[in-house]
Amino acid sequence: MVRQETQRHTPRARVPGFHVARARTGAPRLSYGQRNGLSRSDTGSKRIAAGVCGILLGCLGVHKFVLGYTKEGLILLLITVLTCGIASPATALIGLIEGILYLVKSDTEFEEIYVKNKKGWF
């Protein structure tokens, strides 16, 4: 007689983003979502996207929108549009400097400065 062992597993526990928390009864309770804000890979990809957008599209403020800084992004965009591009070299220079700053920082520094402290400019 072959004895089958019963395996206790929760099928959703292996899905990324699901966390298994034990209730007081000992039964697993599943919850979905991230626990502590952005993960390292999310911060790194956001840092790279914002840096590249700052270098290439800095005069339009795209890098600010990528980081969630809507007010700062609108300021750069409106300065460029309302001056019919006359001020675009200045806003492009701001975007270039900020893009380089984003790319030279480590993920930890970037998360501390721009994600947690919400530093809007430089």
State how far the Cα of 76 lies from the Cα of 89, in Å rounded to an integer: 11
Beta strands in 24-106 (DSSP E): 28-32
Contact call for residues 38 and 110 (beta carbons, < 8 A): no
State how far the Cα of 19 lies from the Cα of 34, in Å rounded to an integer: 9
Q: Compute the half-sphere exposure of residue 44: CA atoms within 13 Å on the CB side of its CA.
A: 4
pLDDT at 20: 56
Decide if pLDDT at 7 tops 70. no
Residue 13 is classified by DSSP as G
Q: Which of 2-6, 15-19, 81-85, 114-118 has the highest mean pLDDT?
A: 81-85
Residues 6+ apart with CB under 8 A from 50: 63, 66, 67, 99, 102, 114
> Residues 20-79: pLDDT tens digits?
555 556 555 555 554 445 555 678 889 999 999 999 999 999 999 999 999 999 999 999
- Among 32-41, 57-66, 100-109, 111-120, name the one with the lowest average pLDDT: 32-41
pLDDT at 58: 95
Give me the mean pLDDT over the 2-29 stretch.
Answer: 55
Count of residues for the chain?
Answer: 122
